[in-house]
A and B are shown apart, each in its own frame.
Chain A
Amino acid sequence: MLINVQNLVKRYGSLLALDHFDLQVSEGEIVGLLGPNGSGKTTAINCILSLLKYDKGTIEVFGKPMAPDAYELKRNIGIVMQNVAVFDELRVDENIDYFCGLYVRDPGTRRRLVEEAIDFVGLGEFRKFHPKKLSGGLLRRLNIACGIAHKPKLLILDEPTVAVDPQSRNSILEGIRELNREGTTVVYTSHYMEEVEQLCTRIVIMDKGKTLATGTNGELKSMINDGETISVELYVLQPEDLAQIRQLPHVTRAHYADNRLSVHYDGGQHNLLRLLDYLKSRELSFNRVFSEQPTLNDVFLEITGRQLRD
């Protein structure tokens, strides 16, 4: 177990930021901490990194207790902070060299690692730029390069794609996958469910400092009753037709509003075929048809009654 957090409690005055929070991360995983803003993700990461004192619980990293002076443990951890943490006064290559040098003393090895990190994040042509000259996406890439240059065994990324354009975001996510393929275990916090769905091998959904659910993407979705949702654009639908649709197999609920019929299922097969057959049999003309699989937001909604991005 690379990270073992048990029963962690952290209070900010009367506010309970972490409420008996548990987290286990095994070697080779990409674990996503998913939760809305203020759910305690960053607090949990800061406690794991010994940047924050906590009130109760235990934190072990690489099988040893984590502490502010656990320098041997820190040597194998890479961190990409939520806010870009680089020197505005140093160039791109100097920034990466600085942070790499905090972990790697040998100048030759460091030079090689810095070059590899620059290549990895694709900042080669910007190496002599100062951070203020970089776009938001490039700045995030620099932030990541500073965190991974020393080739850590454990990489913690705290919302590394906030305010990043889609192209840079995809580049960052692909980079993280590649690092994982090379053997780095990753802990990734985000409130973007799409990112977590795409990237993580295991997901921890948290809210109000608690772990709500843990599992793979599929496992989490199977926890809820909702299966697929089929939406149909209809100009007219009589209440008796809506009542009949609700009687179709596996339908959990159905409603009609703004010329759109939404039908939710709890599973089953050929649901779309059965619905269209019914509409044809009633000679109801329709336009576009959509079929949506449940998302992590549906999981979150099911568990908490709130949207993930509230």
Chain B
Amino acid sequence: MQVFKAYFKVMRSSAASIAVNLGVFLGIAVLLSSMAPETAVMNFEPTRTPVAVINRDGNGQLAQGLVDYLGQTSRLVPYPDDPEKLQDALFFRNVEYIAIIPAGFSDAFMSGESCAVQKVIVPASTSSYYVDMSINKFLNTVRLHRKYSGEGSQAELVAAARADLAFDTPVAMKSFGTATGGERPGYAYYFAYSAYALLAMIITGVSSIMIAFNRPDLYLRNLCAPVPSRSTSLELAAGHGVFALGCWAILVLGSFVLHGKSLVASGLAGLYSLNTLAFAAVSACMGFLVGSFVKSGGSQAGAVNVVTLVMSFLGGVFVPQSVMNKSVLSVGRFLPTYWFIRANDAIGELTGFTADSLRPIYGSILIQLGFAVATFSVTLLLSKERRLSHL
């Protein structure tokens, strides 16, 4: 186990760059988690826009009915019919909508004449649409009753409309998968970006070891020792495995520290961890490959950056695959990051643990493992070629 023990002593020299990668990733993850809709929306409460109603149709029951209805759907803010004060209220955003019911509105509406509720709104206010909708809904309901229920008094029509509009659609919040109601939760981003962190950390660590043990003089010196090459390779492989597992464990632990509650509530922690574990295996094999080609620390840093960034960008780590160009995605299919993100997205969109819904996830994970096996085999072949070239 001499090689295995030396593995982690040699690794000390790369500790700084690995720690920087981990620190940058965790920093970004914390930043994202503070911005992402992390907490699941468990309660629904309709938005109430602050509205000032100027009712100039003082005796009109229909107008009063409308004011009462707006009081239910919006937050009425009392203001006198003073243009200067109303403008101030809008300017200071004390109200976002001023509804002016003109004199004779109720009678004009009942007689079918053209009439309208005037409005003054904050420019580009989206909430004003909700108020428009409320006013239209009330008046259309009254118009419907007037047309099909025969002639009734204003009070009767308002009562009928209010009765109709009293029904609310019940909104129940359920937590499963994307518990934020369509928004990607923070932990989905965390696991997606973890691909970059895993690649950077593991390739840096593994390639550092490979560079050290592949240094020509050291390589020959080790061949002089009474230790079979296979044993040395196995001990190195065990070291790579333990190191990759350690990096994976740190990132999974980080996900529980940052998103533990929502992640556990989603029931998806196991799948996310499994997907990340498969990718850690891919990263270790990529590090094995990079370390076999790179000869010095200087070229190693360049190679790690190129491999990590190219794989991350083409695989959709930083930009969602849904918005990526099709030709870029078709290239990305040949990269394990593509399949990692694909599995990650599929996990986030899960609506149930059925065989059909899980199949694409396991399929993507298996493809990643296929990449790992292929990369490892190619590297072994190259190593054997180099070993034989010495003889």
**A249 contacts chain B at the CB level, 8 A cutoff:** no
Chain A residue contacts of B224, Cβ below 8 A: 49, 51, 74, 77, 79
**A75 contacts chain B at the CB level, 8 A cutoff:** yes
**A294 contacts chain B at the CB level, 8 A cutoff:** no
**B110 contacts chain A at the CB level, 8 A cutoff:** no
**B391 contacts chain A at the CB level, 8 A cutoff:** yes
**A84 contacts chain B at the CB level, 8 A cutoff:** yes
Instruction: Decide yes or no: A90 and B10 within 8 Å by CB, A51-B223, A71-B227, A71-B228 being known contacts.
Output: yes
A28 to chain B, nearest CB (A): 22
Chain B residue with the shortest CB-CB distance to A49: B224
Instruction: Decide yes or no: A86 and B6 within 8 Å by CB, A51-B223, A52-B391, A68-B391 being known contacts.
Output: no
B10 touches A101 (CB 8 A): no
B391 touches A90 (CB 8 A): no
**A128 contacts chain B at the CB level, 8 A cutoff:** no
Chain A residue contacts of B208, Cβ below 8 A: 89
**B13 contacts chain A at the CB level, 8 A cutoff:** yes
Q: Complex formed: what's the CA distance from A74 to B217 in Å?
A: 17
Chain B residue with the shortest CB-CB distance to A86: B218
A87 touches B390 (CB 8 A): no
Instruction: Tell which of B6, B10, B220, B391 touches A85, judged by Cβ atoms closer than 8 Å.
Output: B220
Q: List CB contacts (< 8 Å) of B193-218 with chain A.
A: 208, 212, 215, 217-218
Q: Complex formed: what's the CA distance from A98 to B2 in Å?
A: 6
Q: Complex formed: what's the CA distance from A86 to B218 in Å?
A: 6
Chain B residue contacts of A90, Cβ below 8 A: 6, 9-10
Q: Complex formed: what's the CA distance from A70 to B294 in Å?
A: 31
Instruction: Decide yes or no: A52 and B2 within 8 Å by CB, A68-B223, A74-B224, A79-B224 being known contacts.
Output: no
Chain A residue with the shortest CB-CB distance to B219: A85
B2 touches A81 (CB 8 A): no
Q: List CB contacts (< 8 Å) of B12-63 with chain A.
A: 12-13
A81 touches B225 (CB 8 A): no
What 0/1 readout, one digit per residue, does chain B (237-266) give for beta carbons within 8 Å of chain A? 000000000000000000000000000000
B27 to chain A, nearest CB (A): 27
**B226 contacts chain A at the CB level, 8 A cutoff:** yes
A99 touches B391 (CB 8 A): no
**A222 contacts chain B at the CB level, 8 A cutoff:** no
B9 touches A94 (CB 8 A): yes
Consensus secondary structure, chain A interface: loop
Q: Complex formed: what's the CA distance from A86 to B217 in Å?
A: 8
**A1 contacts chain B at the CB level, 8 A cutoff:** no
Chain A residue contacts of B212, Cβ below 8 A: 87-89
The size bracket of the interface on B is: 20 to 34
Chain A residue with the shortest CB-CB distance to B14: A89
Chain A residue contacts of B223, Cβ below 8 A: 49, 51, 68
B222 touches A81 (CB 8 A): no
**B147 contacts chain A at the CB level, 8 A cutoff:** no
A197 to chain B, nearest CB (A): 28
A51 touches B390 (CB 8 A): yes
Chain B residue contacts of A84, Cβ below 8 A: 217
Chain B residue contacts of A101, Cβ below 8 A: 2, 5
**B221 contacts chain A at the CB level, 8 A cutoff:** yes
Q: Complex formed: what's the CA distance from A94 to B2 in Å?
A: 11
A8 to chain B, nearest CB (A): 15
B10 touches A89 (CB 8 A): yes
Chain B residue contacts of A52, Cβ below 8 A: 390-391
B6, B208, B223, B228, most chain A CB atoms within 10 A: B6
Instruction: Tell which of A51, A68, A98 touches B6, judged by Cβ atoms closer than 8 Å.
Output: A98
Q: Complex formed: what's the CA distance from A51 to B217 in Å?
A: 11
B220 to chain A, nearest CB (A): 6
B369 to chain A, nearest CB (A): 31
A85 touches B9 (CB 8 A): no
Chain B residue contacts of A88, Cβ below 8 A: 13, 212
**A283 contacts chain B at the CB level, 8 A cutoff:** no
B226 touches A87 (CB 8 A): no
Chain B residue contacts of A89, Cβ below 8 A: 9-10, 12-13, 208, 212
Q: List CB contacts (< 8 Å) of A144-176 with chain B.
A: 146
Q: Complex formed: what's the CA distance from A52 to B388 in Å?
A: 9
Chain A residue contacts of B2, Cβ below 8 A: 98, 101-102
Chain A interfacial positions (CB closer than 8 Å to B): 46, 49, 51-53, 68-69, 71-72, 74-75, 77, 79, 81, 83-90, 94, 98-99, 101-103, 146
Q: Give the top 6 A-B pairs by smallest Cβ distance, nearest first.
A: A102-B225, A85-B221, A71-B226, A85-B217, A101-B2, A74-B226
A-B contact pairs, 23 of them (CB 8 A): A49-B223, A51-B220, A52-B391, A68-B391, A69-B228, A71-B228, A74-B226, A79-B221, A83-B217, A85-B217, A85-B218, A85-B220, A85-B221, A87-B212, A87-B218, A89-B9, A89-B10, A98-B2, A98-B6, A102-B2, A103-B225, A103-B226, A146-B221
Q: A49-B223, A79-B221, A89-B9 are in contact. List 17 more A-B contacts (CB 8 A).
A: A51-B220, A51-B390, A52-B391, A72-B226, A75-B226, A81-B221, A85-B220, A85-B221, A87-B10, A87-B212, A88-B13, A88-B212, A89-B13, A90-B9, A94-B6, A101-B2, A102-B226
